[in-house]
Amino acid sequence: MLLLSLIIAHLLADFYLQTDRMVEDKLRSLQRHILHHLLVNTFILGAGWFLFHQENDPSMTVIWPALFITFTHLIIDLSKIKLIDQYAAREHLNKLWFFILDQLLHFTMLLVAMQLFYGESLFLNVKRFIELLFTEGRQLDAVSTTLVILIILILGTTVSGHIIRILLGSLPGQLLTFEGKYTFKNEITGTTYPENTGNSGLSEQYSYMIFNKHDLSRGKLIGYIERLLVILLTYYGSYPAIAFIVTAKSIARFKQMDDRDWAEYFLLGTLTSMFLGILFGILLRELIH
């Protein structure tokens, strides 16, 4: 249960306690980011000591584990920033792999901390996780089940949204808000200019892009609700109902499908969102069903 709580603490500090500005300039905001992790992990470990480990020395079960997790997090983040700047500054797919590797290393350090300071074998924890996935009849207790559900919900909303943003990259604003194209034609005949004695004229054509300025946070909220619905439908095995979600999104964006760049962007984002929703729905079902 403590390991699950530390995973939630990591996700909260990484994806909820960071502002968009901190994410954009991670190196300059790294001190605040690490402070978030130190405070959240200390709180979780302190609560664990108070509830379950009061017979142990708090320095070995609270202070040193929190410092170890925070220090390793700092090293991993600095390494990721340097490697991305060097090898994947403009490659979105490479950035995605660095992000996934970064998160896996953070989770591994949590397992290492559990082994160093609490005597819980890293390999035994991994074995338990595999058994939960592939062994029938194994069930978690009520508290652990609640924590697993919370982790899956965070992964399926905020973390998945971050993955999609990394994969798609930044889309020009006109494609995000594009509503339609309108063409106007203006003809200037020879009578406009007295010196023109012939019937020749000048024809000008203007193309206008019409945009609808809207709060982009609505798109984020739609993505969250979409993946939550997909996770829920996958958990109950209602796969055909997922098609209705895609249909509803396509109808709402029907006008924008005229633009090929936007249509490809929309398709890639939707397929990625559906894939992650189904993946976490299956994971949730296998862990707690």
pLDDT confidence of residue 181? 46
Strand-pair partners of 209: 181
DSSP, collapsed to helix, strand or coil, labels residue 284 as helix
Residues in the chain: 289
Please report the pLDDT score of residue 6 as a whole number: 93
**Residue 193: its pLDDT value, please?**
46
Residue in 31, 98, 100, 29 with CA at minimum distance from that of residue 70: 31
CA separation (Å) from 12 to 36, 82, 180?
9, 24, 40
According to the model, what pLDDT value does residue 208 have? 42
Which residues does the chain have with pLDDT short of 50? 172-184, 187, 191-193, 200-202, 204-215
Q: What is the pLDDT of residues 7-49, one digit of tens each?
A: 999 999 888 887 666 666 666 777 888 888 899 999 999 988 8
Give residue for tokens 């194994």.
138
Residue 167 CB partners (closer than 8 Å, separation 6+): 92, 93, 96, 268, 272
* Pair 223, 188: CB distance under 8 Å: no
pLDDT at 256: 65
Please give the pLDDT value at position 122: 85
Q: How far apart are CA 273 and CA 279, in angstroms?
A: 10
pTM over 0.85: no
